[in-house]
Structure 1
Amino acid sequence: MSESGTSKTLSHGLQVLELLVEHPQGLTLTEIAEGIGVHRTVAHRLVRTLEAHHLCRRDRFKRISLGTGLVRLAEPVEQDLRTLARPVLEELSDAGRASAHLVVRENAEQVRMLMIVEPRQARMHVSFRSGQVDPIGRGSAGLALLSAEPPVEGEREEIARARTRGYAVSVGEIAPGITGISAVVPTGRDTPGTAIGLSLFEAPDPDELGRLVVASAQRLGSLLK
């Protein structure tokens, strides 16, 4: 145990998983050791333990990546929220002819993409990876969540604007050329903030899309209360 009362070994194991999330193409054992700042022997023991629980795996080139055991562990996470949100996201995606996203606040600095639903009738659409983590101050979902808080000195103009109109708009902040339009879901619960929105290549009428997003946020909020 460390002086803070936490397990140093467990902490290192979680750091390995977090490092592999950032490198989906896989890493060598040496790269993992350097990435978390431990000796290669320690990294080897950590990886072997994670492999035993199917949380990581090695390919034929001995590169290490995340394992299928994580799927089973992640399945119950926010299951109720995802179950209720899916039909709302599908309807929003079809109405806006764009990918619809559900984003939750991870902590004070980050948001996580919990779910994305792609449109069924669009020639092209934006695609993101579920579980993707982004800074809260960048992208429409994070800006929308920040707009639900009281104003603070020095905040971005986009946050104040979102607070006024009820939804946030960002362009090229999460991915080049991609517009995001998001609104906060009014859950009425003591839970991490949740935002719903659209991601698309072009937004010729952001106000109309904003109204669609706000309506969907209200609908999901009523289901969660």
Structure 2
Amino acid sequence: MSEADEVVLDSSMSKTLHSGLRVLEVLSARGSAMTITEIADAVGVHRTVAHRFVRTLEAHRLLRRDRAKRFHLGTGLVPLAEPVERDLRTAALPLLEELADEVSATAHLVVQEDSRHVRALMVVEPRNASVHVAFRPGQLDAIDRGSAGLAILSGQPARAGERDEVHTARERGYAVSFSEVVPSVHGVSAPVPNGRDGAQLSVGVSVFDLGDVDRLGAAVRATAQLIGHVTG
């Protein structure tokens, strides 16, 4: 899913700032260095305009240029990202690590971004599994696709037109999805009670083989309850 497609500009927004921020978004999505031409094409601006964007971002250390004149995300992003939900992440980390090791699967804490999307706030990989799912924090997905979003919806009042899976998740306390976000990767997630500052959260695991889904469901529910308790 492209985050660019999800932002609708209106007259109260800055088109120039939007395009400049898109440079950071496309580099993050790409996961590797890009040339100025590739950046210009991805953002949809002239090469000269893209050059102004990257020079400004370089000055703030949000981008860096290598010897081949390709651009990478810069170290200036680290102090900007570090304070985001610091208390929540500090409290949740040991609980997610315990969950990941207990079920030998990648665990994640996901937050509702807006009415249509959820974002992975934390991703913790198991230390005792030879094979596991890997993805980066920050991933944005549709709220009605994948167990993380379905779990968050299940913690909210029922609404017309919602998926049957949301109703099922309300009944059993956790949501299950099959190959909805990434092919061959399944998910089991539970809503976190007492959303922090109104933010809706879910805890889940991503696996290649669901195996004992009841065991996974019980594990994510227990972790969700603990996170709700320590952060509520």
Q: Does 1:23 align with 2:30?
A: yes
TM-score (norm 2): 0.89
Q: Does 1:139 align with 2:131?
A: no
CA deviation profile, 1:100-138 (whole Å, cap 9, x unmatched): 111111122221111111222222222111111122121
TM-score (norm 1): 0.92
For the 8 Å contact 1:24–1:66, the answer to whether it is kept is no
Question: d(CA) in 1 for partners of 2:39 and 2:106?
Answer: 34
Secondary structure class of the residue paired with 2:110: strand
Query: Paired residue for 2:64?
Result: 57
The share of aligned pairs that are identical, in percent, is 58
Count of aligned pairs between the two proteins: 224
Query: Paired residue for 2:3?
Result: none
Range with bigger deviation, 120-129 or 215-224: 120-129
Question: d(CA) in 2 for partners of 1:187 and 1:211?
Answer: 19
Give 1:159-174 correspondences, 5 Å limit: 159-174=166-181
Range with bigger deviation, 212-221 or 166-175: 166-175
Secondary structure class of the residue paired with 1:120: coil
Question: 189, 192, 216: which is aligned to 1:185?
Answer: 192
Query: Paired residue for 2:6?
Result: none
For the 8 Å contact 2:151–2:191, the answer to whether it is kept is yes
Question: d(CA) in 1 for partners of 2:211 and 2:119?
Answer: 27
Unmatched tracts of structure 2, length 5 or more: 1-8
Range with bigger deviation, 77-86 or 15-24: 15-24
CA drift at 1:66:
1.5
Question: 218, 222, 225: which is aligned to 2:225?
Answer: 218
Question: d(CA) in 2 for partners of 1:36 and 1:121?
Answer: 41
Question: d(CA) in 2 for partners of 1:94 and 1:177?
Answer: 21
CA drift at 1:176:
1.9
Query: Paired residue for 1:86?
Result: 93
Question: 156, 160, 165: which is aligned to 1:153?
Answer: 160
Range with bigger deviation, 160-169 or 64-73: 64-73
